[in-house]
Amino acid sequence: MNDTPAPTAPALVSSARGLTYDIAIIGGGAAGLSTAASILKRKPGITVAIVEPSGSHFYQPGWTLVGGGVFKQSQTRRSEKKLIPAGADWVQAAASGFDPDGRIVHLSNGSSLRYSILIVATGIMLDWDAIEGLPEALGRNGVTSNYRYDLAPYTWQMVQTLGRGNAVFTQPPMPIKCAGAPQKAMYLACDAWRKRGIADNINVSFHTATPGLFGVKDYVPALMEYIERYRIDLQLKSNLVAVDGPRQVATFSNVGADGVTTKSEVEFAMLHAVPPQRAPDVIRNSPLAGADGFVAVDPATLRHVKYDDIFALGDVAGTSNAKTAAAVRKQAPIVAVNALAALEGRPMVADYDGYGACPLTVERGKIVLAEFAYGGKLAPSLPKWVLDGRRPTHLAWLLKEYVMPLLYWDGMLKGRELMVEPRPLCGKS
Protein backbone atom coordinates (compact mmCIF):
# COMPACT_ATOMS: atom_id res chain seq x y z
CA MET A 1 0.00 0.00 0.00
CA ASN A 2 1.31 3.46 -0.91
CA ASP A 3 1.02 5.91 2.00
CA THR A 4 2.33 8.87 -0.04
CA PRO A 5 -0.37 11.54 -0.12
CA ALA A 6 -1.84 12.28 -3.54
CA PRO A 7 -0.91 15.65 -5.00
CA THR A 8 -3.52 18.30 -4.42
CA ALA A 9 -4.70 20.67 -7.09
CA PRO A 10 -2.66 23.90 -7.33
CA ALA A 11 -3.93 26.62 -5.04
CA LEU A 12 -3.81 30.37 -5.58
CA VAL A 13 -2.63 32.04 -2.38
CA SER A 14 -3.55 35.71 -2.17
CA SER A 15 -1.40 36.36 0.88
CA ALA A 16 1.62 34.45 2.15
CA ARG A 17 1.79 36.25 5.51
CA GLY A 18 2.88 33.77 8.14
CA LEU A 19 3.04 30.84 5.72
CA THR A 20 6.01 28.48 5.82
CA TYR A 21 7.02 26.14 3.00
CA ASP A 22 9.48 23.29 2.66
CA ILE A 23 10.54 24.80 -0.67
CA ALA A 24 9.85 28.30 -1.99
CA ILE A 25 10.50 28.94 -5.69
CA ILE A 26 10.84 32.55 -6.78
CA GLY A 27 9.71 32.81 -10.39
CA GLY A 28 7.09 30.90 -12.34
CA GLY A 29 8.80 30.91 -15.72
CA ALA A 30 10.36 27.92 -17.43
CA ALA A 31 12.92 27.37 -14.66
CA GLY A 32 10.56 27.72 -11.72
CA LEU A 33 7.74 25.59 -13.10
CA SER A 34 10.04 22.84 -14.36
CA THR A 35 11.86 22.59 -11.04
CA ALA A 36 8.62 22.54 -9.05
CA ALA A 37 7.24 19.75 -11.23
CA SER A 38 10.45 17.73 -10.90
CA ILE A 39 10.45 18.15 -7.12
CA LEU A 40 6.80 17.15 -6.65
CA LYS A 41 7.22 14.17 -8.97
CA ARG A 42 9.95 12.90 -6.66
CA LYS A 43 8.44 13.85 -3.32
CA PRO A 44 4.70 14.54 -3.42
CA GLY A 45 3.29 15.84 -0.19
CA ILE A 46 5.97 18.38 0.67
CA THR A 47 4.90 22.02 0.69
CA VAL A 48 6.00 24.06 -2.34
CA ALA A 49 5.25 27.69 -3.15
CA ILE A 50 5.76 29.28 -6.57
CA VAL A 51 6.02 33.07 -6.32
CA GLU A 52 5.09 34.62 -9.67
CA PRO A 53 3.16 37.86 -10.35
CA SER A 54 2.17 37.26 -13.99
CA GLY A 55 -1.04 35.54 -15.00
CA SER A 56 0.46 34.55 -18.35
CA HIS A 57 3.33 32.25 -19.23
CA PHE A 58 5.27 32.63 -22.46
CA TYR A 59 7.22 30.19 -24.61
CA GLN A 60 9.92 32.71 -25.43
CA PRO A 61 11.94 30.46 -27.79
CA GLY A 62 8.93 30.65 -30.10
CA TRP A 63 9.14 34.42 -30.56
CA THR A 64 11.87 34.04 -33.19
CA LEU A 65 9.44 31.96 -35.25
CA VAL A 66 6.66 34.49 -34.69
CA GLY A 67 8.98 37.17 -36.05
CA GLY A 68 9.79 34.86 -38.96
CA GLY A 69 6.16 34.20 -39.89
CA VAL A 70 6.22 30.54 -38.81
CA PHE A 71 4.34 30.62 -35.49
CA LYS A 72 1.29 32.61 -34.51
CA GLN A 73 1.72 34.86 -31.50
CA SER A 74 -1.00 32.93 -29.60
CA GLN A 75 1.02 29.70 -29.81
CA THR A 76 3.56 31.11 -27.35
CA ARG A 77 1.21 32.16 -24.52
CA ARG A 78 -0.74 30.14 -21.94
CA SER A 79 -2.40 30.70 -18.58
CA GLU A 80 0.05 30.57 -15.68
CA LYS A 81 -2.60 29.04 -13.43
CA LYS A 82 -3.02 26.04 -15.71
CA LEU A 83 0.73 25.35 -15.62
CA ILE A 84 1.21 25.36 -11.83
CA PRO A 85 1.88 21.72 -10.92
CA ALA A 86 -0.57 19.90 -8.66
CA GLY A 87 0.60 20.06 -5.06
CA ALA A 88 2.11 23.54 -5.32
CA ASP A 89 0.72 26.86 -4.09
CA TRP A 90 0.83 29.81 -6.46
CA VAL A 91 1.60 33.07 -4.66
CA GLN A 92 0.68 35.73 -7.23
CA ALA A 93 3.16 38.39 -6.21
CA ALA A 94 6.76 39.37 -6.86
CA ALA A 95 9.67 39.04 -4.46
CA SER A 96 10.63 42.45 -3.06
CA GLY A 97 13.48 41.42 -0.77
CA PHE A 98 15.41 38.53 0.73
CA ASP A 99 16.48 37.78 4.31
CA PRO A 100 18.56 34.63 3.87
CA ASP A 101 19.66 34.52 7.50
CA GLY A 102 16.03 34.50 8.63
CA ARG A 103 14.92 32.33 5.70
CA ILE A 104 12.31 34.93 4.72
CA VAL A 105 11.21 36.28 1.35
CA HIS A 106 9.40 39.63 1.37
CA LEU A 107 6.71 40.10 -1.27
CA SER A 108 5.36 42.99 -3.32
CA ASN A 109 1.90 42.66 -1.75
CA GLY A 110 3.29 43.47 1.70
CA SER A 111 3.33 39.90 2.94
CA SER A 112 6.19 37.48 3.40
CA LEU A 113 6.85 33.77 3.50
CA ARG A 114 9.32 31.50 5.23
CA TYR A 115 11.10 28.54 3.73
CA SER A 116 13.41 25.66 4.50
CA ILE A 117 14.86 25.67 0.96
CA LEU A 118 14.81 28.61 -1.45
CA ILE A 119 15.12 28.27 -5.24
CA VAL A 120 15.63 31.49 -7.21
CA ALA A 121 14.43 31.49 -10.82
CA THR A 122 13.45 35.08 -11.51
CA GLY A 123 14.96 35.26 -14.98
CA ILE A 124 16.87 38.20 -16.41
CA MET A 125 15.90 41.85 -16.81
CA LEU A 126 15.74 43.42 -20.28
CA ASP A 127 17.04 46.97 -19.85
CA TRP A 128 15.26 48.79 -22.68
CA ASP A 129 15.93 52.15 -21.04
CA ALA A 130 19.71 51.65 -21.37
CA ILE A 131 19.44 52.58 -25.06
CA GLU A 132 18.48 56.22 -25.42
CA GLY A 133 15.21 56.67 -27.33
CA LEU A 134 14.56 52.95 -27.82
CA PRO A 135 11.51 52.54 -25.52
CA GLU A 136 9.69 55.37 -27.30
CA ALA A 137 10.65 54.08 -30.75
CA LEU A 138 9.54 50.45 -30.39
CA GLY A 139 6.59 49.34 -32.46
CA ARG A 140 6.69 52.19 -35.00
CA ASN A 141 8.94 53.67 -37.68
CA GLY A 142 10.33 50.22 -38.41
CA VAL A 143 11.76 49.65 -34.92
CA THR A 144 11.02 46.19 -33.54
CA SER A 145 12.33 43.32 -31.39
CA ASN A 146 11.61 39.61 -31.10
CA TYR A 147 12.53 39.91 -27.43
CA ARG A 148 8.99 41.12 -26.68
CA TYR A 149 5.78 39.13 -27.15
CA ASP A 150 3.85 42.15 -28.42
CA LEU A 151 6.54 43.17 -30.92
CA ALA A 152 7.41 39.86 -32.60
CA PRO A 153 4.43 40.14 -34.99
CA TYR A 154 5.64 43.63 -35.96
CA THR A 155 8.97 42.08 -36.96
CA TRP A 156 7.19 39.83 -39.44
CA GLN A 157 5.06 42.74 -40.63
CA MET A 158 8.21 44.72 -41.39
CA VAL A 159 9.81 41.78 -43.17
CA GLN A 160 6.73 41.39 -45.35
CA THR A 161 6.30 45.07 -46.21
CA LEU A 162 9.88 46.28 -46.53
CA GLY A 163 10.84 46.79 -50.15
CA ARG A 164 14.16 48.62 -49.98
CA GLY A 165 16.53 50.44 -47.66
CA ASN A 166 18.74 49.56 -44.73
CA ALA A 167 17.76 46.70 -42.42
CA VAL A 168 19.82 46.87 -39.22
CA PHE A 169 20.03 44.08 -36.63
CA THR A 170 21.78 44.51 -33.27
CA GLN A 171 23.16 42.48 -30.38
CA PRO A 172 24.20 43.98 -27.01
CA PRO A 173 27.10 42.91 -24.77
CA MET A 174 26.86 39.56 -23.00
CA PRO A 175 25.24 38.13 -20.99
CA ILE A 176 21.88 37.97 -22.73
CA LYS A 177 19.19 35.32 -22.97
CA CYS A 178 19.51 33.20 -26.11
CA ALA A 179 22.60 34.82 -27.57
CA GLY A 180 21.76 33.48 -31.02
CA ALA A 181 18.32 35.11 -31.22
CA PRO A 182 19.51 38.49 -32.57
CA GLN A 183 21.06 36.88 -35.64
CA LYS A 184 18.29 34.28 -36.00
CA ALA A 185 15.86 37.12 -36.66
CA MET A 186 18.21 38.46 -39.32
CA TYR A 187 18.69 35.18 -41.17
CA LEU A 188 14.94 34.50 -41.38
CA ALA A 189 14.35 38.02 -42.67
CA CYS A 190 17.09 37.69 -45.29
CA ASP A 191 15.71 34.34 -46.44
CA ALA A 192 12.22 35.85 -46.82
CA TRP A 193 13.59 38.78 -48.85
CA ARG A 194 15.62 36.40 -51.02
CA LYS A 195 12.51 34.32 -51.76
CA ARG A 196 10.57 37.47 -52.63
CA GLY A 197 13.32 38.45 -55.03
CA ILE A 198 14.05 41.81 -53.36
CA ALA A 199 17.24 40.99 -51.47
CA ASP A 200 19.28 43.20 -53.79
CA ASN A 201 17.19 46.21 -52.72
CA ILE A 202 17.86 45.77 -49.00
CA ASN A 203 21.20 46.48 -47.32
CA VAL A 204 21.48 44.26 -44.24
CA SER A 205 23.93 44.91 -41.41
CA PHE A 206 24.54 43.10 -38.13
CA HIS A 207 26.01 45.21 -35.34
CA THR A 208 27.12 43.08 -32.41
CA ALA A 209 28.92 44.34 -29.32
CA THR A 210 30.74 41.01 -29.11
CA PRO A 211 34.20 40.41 -30.65
CA GLY A 212 32.93 37.45 -32.69
CA LEU A 213 29.83 36.23 -34.50
CA PHE A 214 29.18 33.36 -32.06
CA GLY A 215 30.83 32.31 -28.83
CA VAL A 216 31.57 28.69 -29.80
CA LYS A 217 34.02 28.59 -32.71
CA ASP A 218 32.87 25.24 -34.14
CA TYR A 219 29.62 26.80 -35.34
CA VAL A 220 31.09 29.98 -36.82
CA PRO A 221 32.08 28.59 -40.27
CA ALA A 222 28.49 27.58 -41.11
CA LEU A 223 27.15 30.92 -39.89
CA MET A 224 29.74 32.85 -41.87
CA GLU A 225 28.57 31.06 -45.02
CA TYR A 226 25.15 32.62 -44.47
CA ILE A 227 26.64 36.02 -43.65
CA GLU A 228 28.29 35.88 -47.07
CA ARG A 229 25.30 34.35 -48.86
CA TYR A 230 23.00 37.12 -47.64
CA ARG A 231 25.75 39.74 -48.14
CA ILE A 232 25.39 40.95 -44.56
CA ASP A 233 27.67 43.75 -43.41
CA LEU A 234 29.08 42.27 -40.18
CA GLN A 235 30.13 44.92 -37.67
CA LEU A 236 31.90 43.48 -34.60
CA LYS A 237 32.36 45.43 -31.35
CA SER A 238 29.56 47.76 -32.44
CA ASN A 239 27.02 48.53 -29.71
CA LEU A 240 23.65 50.26 -30.18
CA VAL A 241 23.48 53.22 -27.79
CA ALA A 242 20.66 55.43 -29.14
CA VAL A 243 17.67 55.35 -31.48
CA ASP A 244 15.90 58.28 -33.11
CA GLY A 245 12.65 56.71 -34.27
CA PRO A 246 11.12 59.62 -36.22
CA ARG A 247 14.40 60.24 -38.08
CA GLN A 248 15.03 56.48 -38.41
CA VAL A 249 18.62 56.81 -37.26
CA ALA A 250 20.53 54.41 -34.97
CA THR A 251 23.69 55.47 -33.13
CA PHE A 252 26.44 52.97 -32.40
CA SER A 253 29.53 52.95 -30.20
CA ASN A 254 32.30 51.22 -32.13
CA VAL A 255 35.61 49.87 -30.85
CA GLY A 256 38.23 49.88 -33.61
CA ALA A 257 41.19 47.57 -34.12
CA ASP A 258 43.35 50.18 -32.36
CA GLY A 259 41.07 50.07 -29.32
CA VAL A 260 39.75 53.58 -29.93
CA THR A 261 35.99 54.05 -29.43
CA THR A 262 34.06 56.15 -31.94
CA LYS A 263 30.38 56.79 -32.62
CA SER A 264 28.55 56.41 -35.89
CA GLU A 265 25.02 57.00 -37.13
CA VAL A 266 23.21 54.56 -39.42
CA GLU A 267 19.94 55.29 -41.19
CA PHE A 268 17.45 52.45 -41.27
CA ALA A 269 14.16 51.43 -42.80
CA MET A 270 13.96 48.54 -40.32
CA LEU A 271 15.76 48.15 -36.99
CA HIS A 272 15.65 44.93 -34.98
CA ALA A 273 16.99 46.02 -31.59
CA VAL A 274 18.01 43.84 -28.65
CA PRO A 275 18.48 45.57 -25.28
CA PRO A 276 21.29 44.96 -22.81
CA GLN A 277 20.32 42.59 -20.02
CA ARG A 278 21.14 42.24 -16.33
CA ALA A 279 19.98 40.58 -13.15
CA PRO A 280 16.71 41.98 -11.72
CA ASP A 281 17.19 44.77 -9.18
CA VAL A 282 15.69 42.65 -6.38
CA ILE A 283 18.55 40.19 -6.92
CA ARG A 284 21.33 42.69 -7.63
CA ASN A 285 20.56 44.55 -4.39
CA SER A 286 20.28 41.43 -2.23
CA PRO A 287 22.73 39.30 -0.22
CA LEU A 288 22.26 36.57 -2.83
CA ALA A 289 24.13 38.44 -5.57
CA GLY A 290 27.70 37.94 -6.65
CA ALA A 291 29.93 40.63 -8.13
CA ASP A 292 28.09 40.43 -11.47
CA GLY A 293 24.69 40.95 -9.85
CA PHE A 294 23.46 37.42 -10.55
CA VAL A 295 22.86 34.79 -7.85
CA ALA A 296 26.25 33.46 -6.76
CA VAL A 297 26.08 29.68 -7.12
CA ASP A 298 28.45 26.79 -7.54
CA PRO A 299 28.45 26.17 -11.33
CA ALA A 300 28.11 22.41 -10.87
CA THR A 301 25.60 21.95 -8.04
CA LEU A 302 23.79 25.31 -8.58
CA ARG A 303 23.82 25.75 -4.79
CA HIS A 304 24.59 29.18 -3.36
CA VAL A 305 28.23 29.65 -2.48
CA LYS A 306 27.36 31.03 0.99
CA TYR A 307 23.85 29.84 1.88
CA ASP A 308 23.47 26.06 1.79
CA ASP A 309 19.67 26.32 1.72
CA ILE A 310 19.52 28.42 -1.46
CA PHE A 311 19.76 27.37 -5.11
CA ALA A 312 19.37 29.22 -8.40
CA LEU A 313 18.90 28.23 -12.02
CA GLY A 314 17.96 29.70 -15.35
CA ASP A 315 18.90 33.17 -16.52
CA VAL A 316 19.40 34.57 -13.01
CA ALA A 317 22.07 32.06 -11.99
CA GLY A 318 25.61 33.43 -11.99
CA THR A 319 27.01 30.72 -14.21
CA SER A 320 28.84 30.92 -17.55
CA ASN A 321 26.52 28.65 -19.53
CA ALA A 322 24.29 29.95 -22.32
CA LYS A 323 21.07 31.40 -20.93
CA THR A 324 18.60 29.28 -22.89
CA ALA A 325 15.51 27.15 -22.30
CA ALA A 326 17.63 24.12 -23.18
CA ALA A 327 19.93 24.93 -20.26
CA VAL A 328 16.91 25.13 -17.94
CA ARG A 329 15.68 21.74 -19.14
CA LYS A 330 18.99 20.26 -17.98
CA GLN A 331 19.28 22.33 -14.80
CA ALA A 332 15.78 21.80 -13.38
CA PRO A 333 16.08 18.12 -12.43
CA ILE A 334 19.58 18.74 -11.03
CA VAL A 335 18.30 21.51 -8.76
CA ALA A 336 15.31 19.33 -7.85
CA VAL A 337 17.39 16.43 -6.55
CA ASN A 338 19.96 18.68 -4.89
CA ALA A 339 17.30 20.80 -3.19
CA LEU A 340 15.59 17.67 -1.86
CA ALA A 341 18.95 16.40 -0.61
CA ALA A 342 19.55 19.70 1.18
CA LEU A 343 16.05 19.59 2.65
CA GLU A 344 16.89 16.20 4.16
CA GLY A 345 20.36 17.27 5.32
CA ARG A 346 22.17 15.10 2.79
CA PRO A 347 25.14 16.00 0.54
CA MET A 348 24.59 17.17 -3.03
CA VAL A 349 23.84 14.31 -5.41
CA ALA A 350 24.03 15.69 -8.97
CA ASP A 351 25.96 18.23 -11.00
CA TYR A 352 25.46 20.34 -14.12
CA ASP A 353 27.95 20.32 -16.99
CA GLY A 354 26.94 23.70 -18.42
CA TYR A 355 24.82 22.30 -21.25
CA GLY A 356 22.99 24.80 -23.39
CA ALA A 357 21.62 24.80 -26.91
CA CYS A 358 20.87 27.40 -29.56
CA PRO A 359 18.94 26.39 -32.70
CA LEU A 360 20.22 28.99 -35.18
CA THR A 361 17.53 29.46 -37.83
CA VAL A 362 19.76 30.25 -40.79
CA GLU A 363 16.91 29.94 -43.29
CA ARG A 364 13.32 28.78 -43.23
CA GLY A 365 13.59 25.00 -43.13
CA LYS A 366 17.21 24.73 -41.95
CA ILE A 367 18.94 25.17 -38.60
CA VAL A 368 22.48 25.05 -37.27
CA LEU A 369 21.85 23.31 -33.93
CA ALA A 370 24.52 24.54 -31.55
CA GLU A 371 24.82 22.38 -28.40
CA PHE A 372 27.66 22.97 -25.99
CA ALA A 373 28.71 22.81 -22.35
CA TYR A 374 31.05 24.79 -20.10
CA GLY A 375 34.16 26.00 -21.89
CA GLY A 376 32.54 25.75 -25.32
CA LYS A 377 32.85 21.96 -25.34
CA LEU A 378 30.52 20.42 -27.92
CA ALA A 379 27.67 18.46 -26.30
CA PRO A 380 25.47 16.98 -29.04
CA SER A 381 22.31 15.16 -27.98
CA LEU A 382 22.24 12.96 -31.09
CA PRO A 383 25.02 11.03 -32.86
CA LYS A 384 26.75 12.92 -35.68
CA TRP A 385 25.46 10.42 -38.26
CA VAL A 386 21.91 11.41 -37.25
CA LEU A 387 22.46 15.15 -36.93
CA ASP A 388 25.67 17.14 -37.24
CA GLY A 389 24.83 20.40 -35.47
CA ARG A 390 27.75 22.19 -37.08
CA ARG A 391 25.98 22.14 -40.43
CA PRO A 392 22.49 23.45 -41.36
CA THR A 393 19.95 20.61 -41.47
CA HIS A 394 16.23 20.22 -42.08
CA LEU A 395 16.02 17.70 -39.24
CA ALA A 396 17.09 20.37 -36.76
CA TRP A 397 14.37 22.65 -38.15
CA LEU A 398 11.75 19.95 -37.60
CA LEU A 399 12.96 19.61 -34.01
CA LYS A 400 12.64 23.37 -33.51
CA GLU A 401 9.21 23.74 -35.10
CA TYR A 402 7.50 20.60 -33.85
CA VAL A 403 9.43 18.68 -31.19
CA MET A 404 10.85 21.42 -28.96
CA PRO A 405 7.49 23.09 -28.22
CA LEU A 406 6.08 19.69 -27.18
CA LEU A 407 9.13 19.03 -25.03
CA TYR A 408 8.55 22.40 -23.39
CA TRP A 409 4.80 22.40 -22.73
CA ASP A 410 4.23 18.67 -22.18
CA GLY A 411 7.70 17.62 -21.04
CA MET A 412 9.87 19.91 -18.94
CA LEU A 413 7.05 22.02 -17.46
CA LYS A 414 5.45 18.81 -16.22
CA GLY A 415 8.61 17.30 -14.77
CA ARG A 416 9.16 14.79 -17.57
CA GLU A 417 12.92 14.49 -17.94
CA LEU A 418 13.54 12.96 -21.35
CA MET A 419 17.33 12.74 -21.93
CA VAL A 420 18.06 15.08 -18.98
CA GLU A 421 18.06 12.75 -15.96
CA PRO A 422 20.49 14.12 -13.35
CA ARG A 423 23.96 12.63 -13.50
CA PRO A 424 25.58 11.59 -10.20
CA LEU A 425 27.91 14.09 -8.59
CA CYS A 426 31.50 12.89 -8.65
CA GLY A 427 33.32 13.27 -5.33
CA LYS A 428 31.82 16.61 -4.28
CA SER A 429 29.36 17.66 -1.64
User: Per-domain residue ranges for the chain?
Assistant: 20-124+279-351, 128-276
How far apart, in whole angstroms, are the C-alpha atoms of residue 172 and residue 177? 11
List all residues 6 or more positions away from 268 whose beta carbon is below 8 Å from its beta carbon: 142, 165, 166, 167, 168, 248, 249, 250
17-26, 333-342, 387-396: segment of lowest average pLDDT: 17-26
197 φ, ψ (degrees, to nearest 5): 80, 20
201-205, 257-261, 391-395: segment of lowest average pLDDT: 257-261
Q: Which CATH architecture has domain 128-276?
A: 3-Layer(bba) Sandwich (3.50)
pLDDT at 11: 61
Asked, colleague to colleague, whether 20-124+279-351 and 128-276 share their fold, the answer is: yes
- Active-site residue (options: 190, 358, 367, 396): 358
pLDDT at 422: 85
Mean pLDDT, residues 191-203: 97
Helix (H) or strand (E) holding 241: strand 238-244
Rounded-to-10 torsion of CA 187, 171, 321, 368? 10
428 pLDDT above the threshold of 50: no
20-124+279-351 CATH: 3.50.50.60
Q: Quote the Cα angle for 35-307-113, to 5°.
A: 60
Q: What is the model's pTM?
A: 0.94
pLDDT at 424: 75
- Cα 121 from chain centre: 11
Task: Please indicate whether residue 426 is annotated as part of the active site.
Answer: no
pLDDT-derived band at 2, boundaries 50, 70, 90: very low
pLDDT at 420: 81
- Active-site residue (options: 158, 178, 288, 295): 178
Mean pLDDT, residues 263-268: 97
Mean pLDDT, residues 248-253: 98
Q: What tens digit of pLDDT does each residue of 113-146 get? A: 999 999 999 999 999 999 999 999 999 999 999 9
Q: Provide Rg for the chain, Cα atoms.
A: 22
**What would you measure as the largest C-alpha separation in the chain, in angstroms?**
74
How far apart, in whole angstroms, are the C-alpha atoms of residue 370 and residue 301? 24
Give the SS3 label for residue 372.
Answer: strand
Mean pLDDT, residues 261-279: 97
pLDDT at 10: 61
How far apart, in whole angstroms, are the C-alpha atoms of residue 151 and residue 185? 13
Task: Please indicate whether residue 178 is annotated as part of the active site.
Answer: yes
Q: What is the mean pLDDT of the chain?
A: 94
How far apart, in whole angstroms, are the C-alpha atoms of residue 379 and residue 358? 12
CB 33 within 8 A of CB 57: yes
pLDDT at 18: 61
